[in-house]
Chains A and B, each alone.
Chain A
Amino acid sequence: MTIGGLSSLFSRALDGLNVSSRGMSTVANNIANVNTPGYARQELLQATRGVFGNGVLGGGVTAFGVRSLVDPFIERQLANEKSHLGSFAGRKSSLSQLENILSNQDGAGVGTVINSFFNSWSELSNDPSSGVLRQSLLERGVDIVSHFHNKHAQVQDLRRGLSDSIEAQVDKVNSLSQEIARINDLVRRAADESAKLELKAQRNVVLSQLSEEIGVNYFNNSDETITVQINGTGMALVTGIKSSTLSATNDLSDNGQLSLFVQLPGGTSTVNVTDFVSSGSLGGKLKDRNGVLNESLQKLNELAFEFSQQLNAIHRNGYGLDGDDDRNFFSPLAGVSGAAKNIQIDNQILNNLNAIAAAGSDPNVTGVADNENALAILSLQNSLTMSGGSVSFAGFFSNHVSSVGISAAQVNRAFESQLNLVNRLEIQRENISGVNMDEEAADLIRYQRAFEGAAKVMSIANQVLDRLMEL
């Protein structure tokens, strides 16, 4: 046997103690973090130290680092898929609320009230001079007006709520970006590898939260900090130890957009990134806020405008019981914008039921109230008046409601399948990075048995050696 000198023995023992204490603290860390979300199991990297001279026992052992058991591909894929999940989650709620508002639940849909209104014209055409039927027609007209007002207000409320939620999320994105920049700084300054890994694990958790809020792309810098960009842009939310500021401006008009801007750290100008924020919960909400909700308001406005315009055009041609013509049923609207909010029964009709123009000829001349104009108005019910003459009033809105319903169903299905995908990726991540308490406990018991065995053998050896004290 060749054993190095005493100094080499001490050196090897010192190596062993250093390495083992690091190894043990790594295992202890794994156990302590078993329930920490996003924690990646750590492993001590060790190698045999080079041997000098002719020693055959090896030069001891040295630890050259600690690594986290992380699969970068899965981590990146998880962040990406969580962004999509966040997007669907954000849309799921708003679309189902919109569907509830627009749909014909309880017989209160736009199509229903429009048909009721035309039914009243039909009834009036059977007895054009009936005051009761004129009153009933007016009430159906008021129903249509209040229905447009209510739907417009409900969609606007939903849009306002979504805008508030987006603005709150913008604050959250800023807070998470600042946190990543702060951890980046700590990672950069950390001297101890194990502390660095813990900080990186914390950073992964924050990054995962951020990717649920907004789709991001990230890459590692040479100083072990990370740069986080909004997906699809080079616009950085975090660059090393600095974070950008995301802000939102909300245009409350019917077609108004909610826009997102990024102000780079230290800069004064802002860049509009609205079109690039397409994933994450923020992206999903933004898509509905600026897309389907604005579109719904637009459809309501178009319908209210066209309906009042076309009905007025025919109404003006007819005569009331008082023999006057050229009167509007609805107050004239300035334009499509805000039509659903502004539509009103014309005051002449509200104040005088005889002003309802059911007759095609002046009753004062003909001596009888005919129903020609009432029938002309009734013909509007099934006329292809909307979308360039391709669909009726009721059909026009029904198509939009169906489209919202289909989108809501698609988003629900996409959310469920995306959730499954994220769950599967979480399991894969857990298999690689998770701390398995079974393994840790079993290892501990094995360590204990082996080390106790070693201690017992050494105790016996000491007894044997004691007999050699006097040679």
Chain B
Amino acid sequence: MEANSKISELEKVLLEEIKLYESYAEVLGADTDLMTQMNIDELEQSNKRKATLLLKIDAVDQLRQRTVQEVAQELGIPEEKVRLKDIAEHLSGSGSESLLSLRDRLKSVTNKIRTIQADASGFVQSSLSWIDGSMSTLKRLLTPTGTYNARGRVDHPSSFAGRVVENKV
């Protein structure tokens, strides 16, 4: 009876974890559009939402790991490297199917997240490279070119140095 209760608890934890990952995937999926549209306000909000979701995921994942260990203890499975698949093998028909189904859903959503994230990551890296390049261009434009002064030394007008803002009418 204790094992059944623990398995039921594990299923609840897995459902909660799947829900959180799906939420994360949803937010992440919308990021590409935000980034390409340069919608920085929304992107910053999205970053906060994702960070919050990751904190929750982390907490639920630790709970999942604890629950898996407890179930493994109840079922007499060696605790080292215990997997959901190992637990399912010790369960009867419907219990096993239910757990494997949840496992598949979790794997599916995390795979999707990896895929989206791989795309988004390339995108973010190329964006950061561009931003760095543009920053350099900006700095170069606002830094005066050295010239020779009357005595033949290179002269950098000090009034220009460090300026980030151009002259405006």
Contact = CB atoms under 8 A, between A and B. Distances in A.
B165 A438 contact: yes
A9 B120 CA distance: 10
> Chain A interface mostly helix, strand, loop or mixed?
helix
A447 B37 contact: no
A447 B40 contact: yes
B109 to A, nearest CB: 8
A3 B112 CA distance: 9
B155 to A, nearest CB: 20
Given A13-B119, A437-B165, A457-B54, A46 B128 contact: no
Contacts of B43: 450-451, 453-454
Nearest to B46: A454
Interface residues of B, number: 65
Contacts of B77: none
A191 interface: no
Nearest to B19: A1
Interface in B101-155: 103, 106-107, 110, 112-117, 119-128, 130-131, 133-135, 137-138, 141-142
B79 to A, nearest CB: 14
Given A16-B123, A454-B35, A468-B106, A444 B54 contact: no
Contacts of A12: 32-33
> Chain B interface mostly helix, strand, loop or mixed?
helix
Contacts of A447: 38, 40, 127, 131
Given A450-B44, A458-B121, A6 B32 contact: no
Given A452-B128, A470-B81, A19 B36 contact: yes
Interface of B: 22-26, 28-33, 35-38, 40, 43-44, 46-47, 50-51, 54, 57-58, 61, 65, 81, 83-85, 103, 106-107, 110, 112-117, 119-128, 130-131, 133-135, 137-138, 141-142, 164-166, 168-169
18 contacts: A1-B23, A13-B32, A19-B36, A20-B127, A24-B130, A57-B26, A437-B141, A438-B166, A444-B138, A451-B43, A451-B127, A453-B44, A460-B51, A461-B50, A462-B117, A464-B61, A471-B83, A471-B103
